[in-house]
Structure 1
Amino acid sequence: MSTHIIRRIFLYISTVSIAFVLILASLSSGCTDTGKTEEETVIGTILHDDNGTYIIQVENGTRYVPVNLDEEYQIDGMVVGFRGITLENDSVAESPGIPIEIHYIGTYVPPGANATLKLEKKLP
Structure 2
Amino acid sequence: MIPGRYVLYVCLVLVGALLACGCASAPGEVVTGTVVHVDIEGGFYGIIGVDGTKYLPLNLDPAFAVDGMRVRFTYVPEDLATIQMWGAPITVTWIEEAAGEGAPESLSDGTWELASLRNATGTEIRVLAGTRITAEFGEDGSMAGSGGCNHYGTEYAAGGEGLSGDLSLGPVYATEMYCISPEGVMEQESIYLGMLSSVRTFRIEGGILRLSDGDGRILLIFLKV
Normalised TM-score (structure 2): 0.31
Higher fraction of strand: 2
| Aligned partner letter, 1:88 | D
Structure 2 unmatched runs, 5+: 1-26, 104-225
Distance in structure 2 (CA, Å) of the matches to 1:48 and 1:83: 20
User: Residue 84 of structure 1: CA displacement?
Assistant: 1.2
Give the number of aligned pairs: 75
Equivalent residue number for residue 101 of structure 1: 91
Match of 2:34 in 1: 45
Q: 3-state SS of the aligned residue for 2:93?
A: strand
Q: TM-score, normalised by structure 1?
A: 0.55
Q: CA deviation at 1:103?
A: 0.8
Greater fraction of residues in helix? 1
Cα distance in 1 between the residues matched to 2:49 and 2:102: 19
**How many Å apart are 1:42 and its aligned residue?**
0.2
Gap runs ≥5 in structure 1: 1-37, 114-124
1:110 Cα deviation after fit: 3.6
1:81 to 56, 68, 72: 72
Q: 1:39 to 1:75 in 2, by over 3 A?
A: same
Percent identity, please. Answer: 36
- Please name the residue that 1:23 is paired with: none
Indicate the RMSD between aligned Cα atoms, in angstroms: 2.0
Tell me the secondary structure at the aligned position of residue 59 of structure 2: coil
